[in-house]
Each structure stands twice: as C-alpha cells, then as structure tokens.
Amino acid sequence: AQSVTQPDARVTVSEGASLQLRCKYSYSGTPYLFWYVQYPRQGLQLLLKYYSGDPVVQGVNGFEAEFIKSNSSFHLRKASVHWSDSAVYFCAVSGANYNVLYFGSGTKLTVEP
Amino acid sequence: AQTIHQWPVAEIKAVGSPLSLGCTIKGKSSPNLYWYWQATGGTLQQLFYSITVGQVESVVQLNLSASRPKDDQFILSTEKLLLSHSGFYLCAWNQNNQAPLFGEGTRLSVL
C-alpha cells in the first residue's frame, strides 16, 4: 500500500535554529517525492521535489531534502529558520504519472522569536 | 503565466442541498487536473483526477462527483451534501514532469 508518515504532528523551534521535519514513505514503484507548505487558510505551495539523481535536492527559501532509499525517507531540512516559516508542512509521494498523490498527515511548525 | 482560479472562495450550505465547486486553469492547454479534500486541521485526500476533457477518474468518491466540461475547467459537485463534506477543497494542475501546483482552495461549511 502507498502511504506517507510524518511522525511529528507539531514541531517548535527557535528563530535561527536548524530544522528537520521527518517523512517516511511506502511506495511500490519508483517514488516521486514532494514537500509542500500550507500557510493558514491558503492552498499548498511547492517547496521542492525529487525524481532522481542527486539525493539532496534544493528548494525555495533555503529548504532542502535528502532522499535515503534504504530508509524510505525524505526528510526536510533548513539551516536557519525564520518566524515566517511557521506553517504546516506536508510530505507527499506519487508515481511517475502523478495521477495520485499520497500525502502525509502534516507537521505544524512553530518558530518562536 | 499560468493561473489557477477556484470558485467560490467559501460556501455555507445546508445538509441535503446541492453543491458545485469550480476550478479554471488559464495559460495552459491540456493540463492534468486534480481535486483534493482536506478535513479541518487534517491531511489531504485526493478525490479525482482528469487527464483530458470529458474523462474523470475517481480515487476516493466521498459521495461526490467530478466533471471536466472544458479543457481548462474542472467541476466538483454533489446533489445532496452531508455534514462530512465540510472542509477545504483544493484543485491542482500539472503537465509533463511538473509537480502538481495548487489553487487557493474553497472552504465549505455544511450545517
């Protein structure tokens, strides 16, 4: 079965601190992996995507993620968070045709001053 | 530039009433189109996708239906709303190897 697990429902960090949001997936074929961010009462914005190649992918606003096939993980990282990064972050997986996108339950990030 | 527009922005409807939500993509021909539903404070669940005009595939129906009457339009509807239909409805589109990009959503409250 296809699924995405984000084990941390809420994460709180101080401004300027580093960040890691965890994501593990289960997918029977070749996974296409995504991280999206959702600000309150808004749609989703794409942060980054991984299809193949270099397992570390760079995204917008200083975010990056690392694909670790042996661990079925795709954790999101940022070296130094800003208060404006406070939002809900979703990890998602699909196959090459993108017909169905499976989302994790989301991680709510709060950045404290 | 491509734009995605969802309408209405928000709806308050009574249980048992009909519903129609719309999504339009401008600036792209033959996009793939998707509907997602998000329970309040919850994750996203894909409902439907459409690769071409007139063809819609169901992923999870939730007593809803979808149609693609035009290349740039995707409609989500039901004849009778349930309380469980409340939530946030998101339309998305993509082409080729692009990641799906989302609209701003429609917030639905069923009372």
Q: What is the largest CA-CA distance in chain A?
A: 42
Provide the domain count of chain B: 1
The residue among B56 and B2 whose pLDDT is bigger is: B56
Integer angstrom CA distances of residue A97 from A29, A31, A44, A103, B58: 11, 11, 20, 16, 15
Map out the domains of chain A as residue ranges: 3-112
Query: CB distance B101–A46 less than 8 Å?
Result: yes
pLDDT of residue B42: 86
pLDDT tens-place string over residues B67-96: 999 999 999 999 999 999 999 999 999 988
- Say if A42 is an interface residue toward chain B (CB within 8 Å): yes
- Say if B107 is an interface residue toward chain A (CB within 8 Å): yes
pLDDT of residue B98: 87
A3-112 classified as CATH 2.30.300.10: no
Bridge partners (DSSP) listed for residue B52? B55
pLDDT of residue A25: 97
Mean pLDDT of chain B: 94
A74 to chain B, closest Cα gap in Å: 16
Distance CA A31, CA B52 (A): 24
Query: CB distance A90–B45 less than 8 Å?
Result: no
pLDDT tens-place string over residues B90-102: 999 998 878 999 9
Tell how strand B106-110 and strand B10-13 pair up.
parallel
A2 to chain B, closest Cα gap in Å: 13
For residue B74, the enclosing domain spans 3-110
Contacts of A43 in chain B (CB under 8 A): 90, 102-105
Residue A106's pLDDT band (boundaries 50, 70, 90)?
Answer: very high
Percent of chain B surpassing pLDDT 90: 85
| Average pLDDT value for residue range A87-110 | 93
Query: Which residue, A5, A36, A9, is CA-closest to A23?
Result: A5
pLDDT of residue B79: 97
Query: CB distance A43–B90 less than 8 Å?
Result: yes
Percent of chain A surpassing pLDDT 90: 87
CATH, residue B20: 2.60.40.10
Contacts of B57 in chain A (CB under 8 A): 99
pLDDT of residue A7: 97
Tokens of B22: 């719309």
CB B23 within 8 A of CB B103: yes
The residue among A98 and B2 whose pLDDT is bigger is: A98
Task: Extract the runs of DSSP E, i.e. beta strands, from chain B.
Answer: 3-7, 10-13, 19-26, 32-38, 44-52, 55-58, 65-70, 73-78, 87-94, 101-102, 106-110
Given a cut of 90, whether residue B19 has pLDDT beyond it is yes
Residue B61's pLDDT band (boundaries 50, 70, 90)?
Answer: confident
B80 to chain A, closest Cα gap in Å: 25
pLDDT of residue B62: 86
pLDDT of residue B35: 97
pLDDT tens-place string over residues A27-72: 998 999 999 999 988 899 999 999 989 999 999 999 999 999 999 9
**Prior bond of A31 cis (ω within 30°):** no
pLDDT of residue A8: 96
- Tally: H helices and E strands in chain A: 0, 12
